[in-house]
Chain A
């Protein structure tokens, strides 16, 4: 018997997974170690599933980071994905990227971009560059108005300035080896369009109008969790949004969902299938209990994924993951 959370639409989701032979859903390995190192953020975006903001105090300690670094040494792990909140607001981020940089893994830092212009954080782009860190910058809309409706006043212009700063270091420039990817997510209650199409539009406007460049665009479907769920409820859009997610269920995307190859670590070392389950406090289902480092990765590699109605966001259309769409 698989796991079923008491969430609206969860039953329908499980039925759809069952029809395509994917229920119960099991992890197939641990290739990506995602670390949510802080709930603090200089912004309070309207869609934030972890409800990050300046008032949050949760920070991963250096001791927990050290446990993550030891876990990341496993040869099966190819990618370390550092997120938050604004990961820059954890005072040990610099130490973490330097230590992770020694492991010869792909290391990503998810940034809201604008923090890189703030006092006390301006040196970080150079630290990222020196350690070969990939920067994944949030820019929900290539039109300034949409970005600012979601992330706050003046954010678009400052994000463009931060991209220009990163471009100056070689990020997003051909041949530099320094990768700058951007993240798009809809500014409202609708699903994103095709990733390839939107990337073309981003390139046309960001390059043509603002003179900045980037490597790739990740299209994310907003997950009905945290502040985004509140928004859907308060605006009367919840039912229609969930219906559109359900109607867009794609078996091909379902087979490739990120939780099957990801282990998400919370600020206190707790383990989750993904960042959304982390926001919902749904810890991994595993025969052993513990935090990062307490459980052997092979035990976690075959775990059953905990599911809920929110999972429909990752299986809609071309699918959605922290690396963007899952299918063409």
Chain B
């Protein structure tokens, strides 16, 4: 057992995440392949979405995997950063939207 919760080498273990629950694991990979593969949206578009989600979700494995995939697909660094900003703006908007609750409570409680 390593001393760190996150290890770079863990990414190589990703194909084994179905261990102990192989049926569910198999179905997950089937779903994952369909969801991330080219459909109405191109592989390029989906990879940029995945990169933005990976950064918002703070997943080091996904950030590693999708940065590499975007580079492989010839996606520019500026395009990748724009995608990350979409994620950042959505996260900020999500937080600010929740301030609505705070504003509503303030308005209810203040004289």
**Which positions in A face B, CB cutoff 8 Å?**
141-143, 184, 186, 188, 190-194, 197-198, 201-202, 240, 243-244, 247
B12 touches A192 (CB 8 A): no
In the complex the two chains form, what is the Cα distance from A240 to B69 in whole Å? 14
A143 touches B76 (CB 8 A): yes
Q: A197-B43, A197-B44, A247-B12 are in contact. Are A190 and B71 (CB under 8 A)?
A: yes
B12 touches A142 (CB 8 A): no
B2 at the interface (CB under 8 A from A): no
Q: Which of under 10, 10 to 19, 20 to 34, or 35 or more describes the interface residues of B?
A: 10 to 19
In the complex the two chains form, what is the Cα distance from A228 to B73 in whole Å? 20
B72 at the interface (CB under 8 A from A): yes
B76 touches A197 (CB 8 A): no
In the complex the two chains form, what is the Cα distance from A94 to B57 in whole Å? 59
Residues of B37-59 at the interface with A, using a CB-CB cut-off of 8 Å, are: 42-44
Residues of B1-45 at the interface with A, using a CB-CB cut-off of 8 Å, are: 8, 12, 42-44
In the complex the two chains form, what is the Cα distance from A184 to B44 in whole Å? 17
Q: In whole Å, how far is B89's beta carbon from the nearest beta carbon of chain A? A: 25
A247 / chain B contacts, CB cutoff of 8 Å: 12
In the complex the two chains form, what is the Cα distance from A202 to B76 in whole Å? 13
In the complex the two chains form, what is the Cα distance from A186 to B76 in whole Å? 12
A197 / chain B contacts, CB cutoff of 8 Å: 42-44, 73-74
6 A-B interface contacts by CB (under 8 A): A184-B74, A186-B72, A193-B43, A197-B44, A201-B73, A247-B12
B68 touches A190 (CB 8 A): yes
Q: In whole Å, how far is A194's beta carbon from the nearest beta carbon of chain B? A: 8
Partner of B74, one of A142, A240, A243: A142
Q: Label chain B's interface by main secondary structure.
A: helix
In the complex the two chains form, what is the Cα distance from A191 to B12 in whole Å? 16
Q: In whole Å, how far is B23's beta carbon from the nearest beta carbon of chain A? A: 24
B76 touches A192 (CB 8 A): no
B8 / chain A contacts, CB cutoff of 8 Å: 240
B76 / chain A contacts, CB cutoff of 8 Å: 143
B42 / chain A contacts, CB cutoff of 8 Å: 197
A141 / chain B contacts, CB cutoff of 8 Å: 74
Partner of A198, one of B12, B69, B74: B74
Q: In whole Å, how far is A137's beta carbon from the nearest beta carbon of chain B? A: 17
In the complex the two chains form, what is the Cα distance from A197 to B70 in whole Å? 12
In the complex the two chains form, what is the Cα distance from A192 to B43 in whole Å? 14
A243 / chain B contacts, CB cutoff of 8 Å: 12
Interface mask (B57-98 → A, CB under 8 Å = 1, otherwise 0): 000000000001101111010000000000000000000000
The 3 closest A-B pairs by CB, nearest first: A193-B72, A193-B73, A190-B71
B72 touches A191 (CB 8 A): yes
Q: In whole Å, how far is B80's beta carbon from the nearest beta carbon of chain A? A: 12
Additional 13 contacts, C-beta under 8 A, given A142-B74, A186-B71, A244-B68: A141-B74, A186-B72, A190-B68, A191-B72, A192-B72, A193-B43, A193-B69, A193-B73, A194-B73, A197-B42, A198-B73, A201-B74, A247-B12
Q: A143-B76, A197-B43 are in contact. Are A188 and B71 (CB under 8 A)?
A: yes
A244 / chain B contacts, CB cutoff of 8 Å: 68
Q: In whole Å, how far is A285's beta carbon from the nearest beta carbon of chain B? A: 34
In the complex the two chains form, what is the Cα distance from A193 to B42 in whole Å? 13
Q: Which residue of B lies closest to A205 (CB)?
A: B74
A143 / chain B contacts, CB cutoff of 8 Å: 74, 76
Of B42, B43, B71, B73, chain A has the most CB atoms within 10 Å of the CB of: B71
B68 touches A193 (CB 8 A): no
